[in-house]
A and B are shown apart, each in its own frame.
Chain A
């Protein structure tokens, strides 16, 4: 716990420290150093992180905090003293990391399947698979399990209008908890209803 205190303190001061020290290092020299002294081994060659080290692009700390942290890290990172890495060398590494482009977000990478695009959902069955199944397959949060006639007949007794309303606006009550539109705010009303119709058709 005591190791986290300097980090927390620095993060609180980060906005004030950000512009307060001269960290003018050489990014080119910094990249060579980053590879030579082994920062890439845990943090990756573009600071993307992984199981062995945190993501450090974009830089999570301003210059002063970065310098303090490398000398006295909080986690599994070894400490690099100024005997093995001078302030000037650290400044070069910092400058290099500041120039590494952040790259695309998950929403811009189709292979990451951040969520099935609405345009790919053609009918109620598609909506079910992409949105509803995660809870209605297993009855999570009290969700009536698909094909469970007894569970669905209790809901149907209250009428389709109320079913649509709960699916669109969300529900918290005696049956359980459901987020509005199954947690997909981008799902058009018509598709939500088609998802409900599909579940009712196979569960009734």
Chain B
């Protein structure tokens, strides 16, 4: 036996399988347990489809895949150690799971103990690699042959892209990777055809029932959570809303409805029929709780007595129970376990059929009133946005509109979550119409999602020539700022605008709350939450990673020119960062 060379390693066949699934990129922090696959991807696969993206932390690898998938609608490949790599990646996997996003993760491991040598290989080996994340992935397998690998790899992809989308894991045994294909594998191994199931549409009788309730409602309301699974989903909700002349409340877990549409808005408390489309937090949407920040406080329904609640959600078809991201049980009058986007065409058609000419007249009047309410809400938002306009630290409304002024004529994409941290200003003031205008957020509130997800989304946007904009919280960036280097190294154009409020501000507010409740120490909240003394210089940090940067900017009049300069760099195909000292919220 020639021990010095192995000829074609088994990883070449694994690459053939992965190429059949057409991954554009593979995100990885290099690891010895998948060195075989890594080498095959580059030298046999040509480092193309997938192309290797070098990440400095496995959390960045998975979060990049999370952001990418929300733009492209399909998964990125991630490679990691089955032990220490997965441990690093686990929070990001949980975020993707809670956000219903497909991520495809390959883990390296040495299953057969007699093939492990030194202590590294033992410490990096595990009996059941996926066990630690099984509660927040949809499917996993640990194939013991290349033929088995082929079948499971294809099945995993199919599982990831059957709604609700979720992360999946396949273990790529290191011995299978590095040794040549065995004789039995040579006989059996083949790459099965991938067939993604069509998404499940709602039962026809239930859809008809829903249409009847909506058409006859005096004050219907459509509530969207993750209803736009693809860009086409936005147009379907618009068509339904305009057919019914019904308002739409977008909970912004995705871009579901145009922000300046005259039907955008509506109130749960006014509605007699509520249609919830993929609303994961439906109980939260339909209940109010005593607003004091104290666990276990009283809650009450905010729906009108007699209001009818209809839900169309794919999460009713699939879910897990250990992690509690599914939220509180919500009583629903008509529950349709199906994918909302796949169900909407039939629902729209049923509504159109049921609307009589007389009913149509009544609907027109409702539409006109809703348009007026919409205008009044916008006027109110403008009043509030003007408050603190010239302040330093710079108001979040000012940052939003200085940005908007410079991107509004571009094909732009806002890839950061903006509701709790930035007072939602872009959603309230910008004209958002397309799926890539807003991506929603982290899924499970795992902070550290923001920076890498933004770079992943920017990677997807790059081939479409879009201007990617990321409003970057300072606390979030500090978990794994090295993803800035990944953006520089791979020439990923992205405009990062720091929301630098020099604190883990949510926790800072909580600490003041706790102290006030305990009647003591209300001036100690910055202990353990402040990110100052010294202030972190994010412009210098960015430069260290090879990124053009400006800052810190604390004079609002300097913000416009700084953004302009940074956009010039981004349009050349490079990342840029502007450090802005901002109001806390």
Interface residues in B234-277 by Cβ distance below 8 A to A read: 238, 242, 245, 260-263
Are B262 and A134 interface neighbours, CB within 8 A? yes
Report the minimal beta-carbon distance from B138 to chain A, rounded to whole angstroms. 33
- What sequence of 0s and 1s flags, for each residue 132-147 of chain A, a beta carbon within 8 Å of any chain B beta carbon? 0011001111100000
Are A104 and B389 interface neighbours, CB within 8 A? yes
Known: A41-B525, A46-B391, A142-B364. Is A111-B405 also a contact (CB below 8 A)?
Answer: yes
Interface status of B361 (Cβ within 8 A of chain A): yes
Are A140 and B395 interface neighbours, CB within 8 A? no
B365: chain A residues at CB < 8 Å are 141-142, 172, 176-177
Cα separation A46 to B388 with both chains bound (whole Å): 6
Interface status of B583 (Cβ within 8 A of chain A): yes
A141: chain B residues at CB < 8 Å are 245, 364-365, 367-369, 371
A104's partner among B238, B293, B386, B404 (CB-CB below 8 A) is: B386
Interface status of B301 (Cβ within 8 A of chain A): no
Q: Which of A12-20, A80-88, A116-124 contacts B (4 or more CB under 8 A)?
A: A80-88
Report the minimal beta-carbon distance from A60 to chain B, rounded to whole angstroms. 12
Closest to B290 in A: A3
Q: Which of B71-79, B85-93, B165-173, B507-515 contacts A (4 or more CB under 8 A)?
A: B507-515
Interface status of A109 (Cβ within 8 A of chain B): yes
Report the minimal beta-carbon distance from A102 to chain B, rounded to whole angstroms. 8
Are B371 and A140 interface neighbours, CB within 8 A? yes
Cα separation A80 to B523 with both chains bound (whole Å): 12
B386: chain A residues at CB < 8 Å are 103-106, 109, 112
A85: chain B residues at CB < 8 Å are 522
Number of A-B contacts (CB under 8 A): 165
Cα separation A36 to B372 with both chains bound (whole Å): 43
Report the minimal beta-carbon distance from B475 to chain A, rounded to whole angstroms. 14
Identify the interface centre among A46, A78, A142: most chain B CB within 10 Å of its CB: A78
Interface status of A44 (Cβ within 8 A of chain B): yes
Interface status of B434 (Cβ within 8 A of chain A): no
Report the minimal beta-carbon distance from B358 to chain A, rounded to whole angstroms. 11
A134: chain B residues at CB < 8 Å are 260-262, 371
A57's partner among B238, B387, B515 (CB-CB below 8 A) is: B387
Are B361 and A174 interface neighbours, CB within 8 A? yes
Cα separation A177 to B372 with both chains bound (whole Å): 11
Interface status of A67 (Cβ within 8 A of chain B): no
Cα separation A177 to B291 with both chains bound (whole Å): 39
Interface status of A51 (Cβ within 8 A of chain B): yes
Identify the interface centre among A38, A55, A183: most chain B CB within 10 Å of its CB: A38
Known: A49-B387, A138-B242, A140-B245. Is A44-B523 also a contact (CB below 8 A)?
Answer: no
Are B368 and A177 interface neighbours, CB within 8 A? yes
Report the minimal beta-carbon distance from B508 to chain A, rounded to whole angstroms. 6
Are A44 and B371 interface neighbours, CB within 8 A? no
Are B368 and A178 interface neighbours, CB within 8 A? yes
Are A80 and B522 interface neighbours, CB within 8 A? yes
Are A78 and B292 interface neighbours, CB within 8 A? yes
Interface residues in A145-201 by Cβ distance below 8 A to B read: 172, 174-179, 183
Are B385 and A84 interface neighbours, CB within 8 A? no
B419: chain A residues at CB < 8 Å are 51
Are B522 and A84 interface neighbours, CB within 8 A? yes
A49: chain B residues at CB < 8 Å are 384, 387
Are B387 and A40 interface neighbours, CB within 8 A? no
Interface residues in A70-102 by Cβ distance below 8 A to B read: 75-76, 78-81, 83-85
Are A44 and B585 interface neighbours, CB within 8 A? yes
Closest to A81 in B: B519
Known: A106-B385, A139-B242. Is A80-B402 also a contact (CB below 8 A)?
Answer: no
Interface contacts beyond A42-B509, A42-B584, A142-B365: sample of 20 additional A-B pairs, CB < 8 Å, sorted by A: A38-B509, A45-B391, A46-B387, A50-B584, A76-B291, A78-B517, A79-B516, A84-B519, A106-B383, A111-B401, A111-B404, A114-B379, A138-B261, A141-B368, A141-B369, A142-B367, A142-B368, A177-B364, A179-B368, A179-B372
A–B pairs, 15, beta carbons within 8 Å:
A45-B391, A50-B396, A50-B585, A51-B420, A51-B424, A51-B585, A78-B513, A78-B516, A84-B515, A84-B520, A109-B386, A111-B404, A141-B367, A142-B367, A178-B368
Report the 10 A-B pairs with minimum CB-CB distance, sorted nearest first. A141-B368, A48-B388, A142-B364, A177-B368, A50-B585, A48-B387, A76-B291, A176-B364, A78-B516, A106-B382
